[in-house]
Each structure stands twice: as structure tokens, then as C-alpha cells.
Amino acid sequence: MLVLSRKKNESIVINNDITVTVVEIRGDKVRLGIVAPKEVPVHRQEVFDAIHGRANNSVKIDTALAGNGNSGE
């Protein structure tokens, strides 16, 4: 796993066509904005697991490393 630090309004780019931007940091929650091509599905882990019939196997990331915790919608 690659772990990066980002501040509000900073982004990362994946594969030249997906951009993930830190939109807001509030307490232990980080809101992310994701720009991706329409053909690229983007889901929260628990939604992805439900779609694929998996038990809740959400990856727990150390909040100190992840920069304040989980994203939400």
C-alpha cells in the first residue's frame, strides 16, 4: 500500500486520468472528490463488497498514516 499525505485542496493522480482531491477535513473524517472516466466504477469499500456479495472486509487504515481517517459520501 502506498501511503501519501495530502492537505485540503491537494490531489493525487492515478493512471493519468483519475484525480482524487481532499475536499474537506472535519474531525476524523476526510471528504474526497474523485474525477474519473465514466467507464471507471468508483465505490466506497462497503458498497463494493455488497455489490460483489462479500462480507464487510473494509480495509482499516491507520488514521495517523491516512491523514485523519475515512472518507464518506
Task: Give the model confidence (pLDDT) of 8-64 as tens digits.
Answer: 999 999 999 999 999 999 999 999 999 999 999 999 999 999 999 887 655 554 444
The answer to whether the CB of 24 falls within 8 A of the CB of 31 is yes
Kindly tell me if the per-residue pLDDT of 66 is higher than 60.
no
Grid cell, residue 14, equals 492515478
Using a pLDDT cut of 70, give the percent of the chain over it.
Answer: 75
The residue behind cell 495530502 is 6
The residue among 70, 59, 63, 58 whose CA lies nearest residue 24 is 70
- From first CA to last CA, the distance across the chain in angstroms is 23
Distance CA 3, CA 6 (A): 10
